[in-house]
Amino acid sequence: MKLIFISEKLGGSKAFFLGRWLRALLSLCLLGTTIPSVYFIFQELRSEPPSLSDLNSDIELQKRLLEQAEKIGFLQQKSNNEISALTARLGTLQARLSRLDSLGLRITQLANLDDGEFDFDGELPVGGPSVSVTDLSSPSLISNDYWAAEEAISDLTMHLEDRERQLLFLEEVLDRREAANNRQVFGQPLEYSWVASKFGNRPDPFTGKNSFHSGIDLTTGKAGAEIRTIASGVVTWAGPRSGYGLLVEVNHGNGFVTRYAHSEKLLVAIGDVVTKSQKIAHVGSTGRSTGPHVHFEVYKNGRIVDPATYLSNTIR
């Protein structure tokens, strides 16, 4: 390697030849000055303020984070509202089930049904989420409580359906019992009455001779009282009949027929369907009668029988 120096004063130049070791030493000196320069340049670049594009990127990122936070808050509030609605519905279902149980238990007791037939006094299933306000900020807890409420509502709905089935069956049982009771020939044609003349042999009220009385005479002492049928059935006669005056005859089925005679006014017609204790006429003294009363007869399989067996609450 050769170095050339030029002198302005002398107006000439001078050359120097560098050996291998001298060239190596000179290279190390130059390298020592270059590395610090690069380091200082790098530090200077780091200390420079961010560019406008960098600032815009940061602002956009912050904006997205805020939007995400708002969405999360909205979803949490929506979940809280849904859980509150489910909890309210759960309380309503529990109250409804409690009322059904009370009603069913009361009906079974009044109807004297066996305890084993219907189960209305079992333990009421209750449940639902128990969450504090602070817990509602956790998405996992919100999800768990939502499904817990749904499960509790599903269980209550199943119990409600079971109670409703029991009540429907109970209604059917009571309807059958009521129908059987209505068909049962037993009751009181005239309220607050007493027996004026019994069934069987007696002195005829017009001739004084011994005669057979085919029914029971019931009276309240005055005309106009309501006459009621003692069982459900169909009216087969409604009008005047020899010796009976104004007569109502009701066929109750199963071979039973009842008659209500000497009425002042009829309230039914032939073919009418009547129910137990329905008003069918008013007490009078029509036909072969000495005063206001109802002549009551009962026929079983075409044969006349003593009506006393089928009367209730009558002073004899």
The answer as to CATH 2.30.30.790 being correct for domain 194-310 is: no
DSSP 225: P
DSSP 51: P
Residue 159 CA to residue 166 CA, distance in Å, equals 11
Torsion sign, CA atoms 25, 29, 30, 34:
positive
Q: Rounded to two decimals, what is the model's pTM?
A: 0.51
Structure tokens at 174: 């009571």
Instruction: For strands 233-241 and 279-283, give the pairing.
Output: unpaired
Return phi, psi of residue 86, to 5°. -65, -40
- Max Cα–Cα distance, the chain, nearest Å: 192
Better-scored residue on pLDDT, 250 or 53: 250
The amino acid at 8 = E
Q: What is the pLDDT of residues 85-127, one digit of tens each?
A: 777 777 777 777 777 777 777 777 666 666 555 555 555 445 5
SS3 label, residue 276: coil
| Element of type H or E holding 189 | none
Q: What is the pLDDT of residues 220-265, one digit of tens each?
A: 989 999 999 999 999 999 999 999 999 999 999 889 999 999 999 9
Structure tokens at 252: 């109750």
Question: Which runs of consecutive H residues, i.e. helices, occur in 184-247?
Answer: none
Assess contact for 227 and 246: CB atoms under 8 A: no
Give the pLDDT confidence score for residue 29 in this predicted structure: 53
Domain locations along the chain: 2-46, 56-183, 194-310
Q: Which residues pair with 251 in a beta bridge?
A: 234, 257
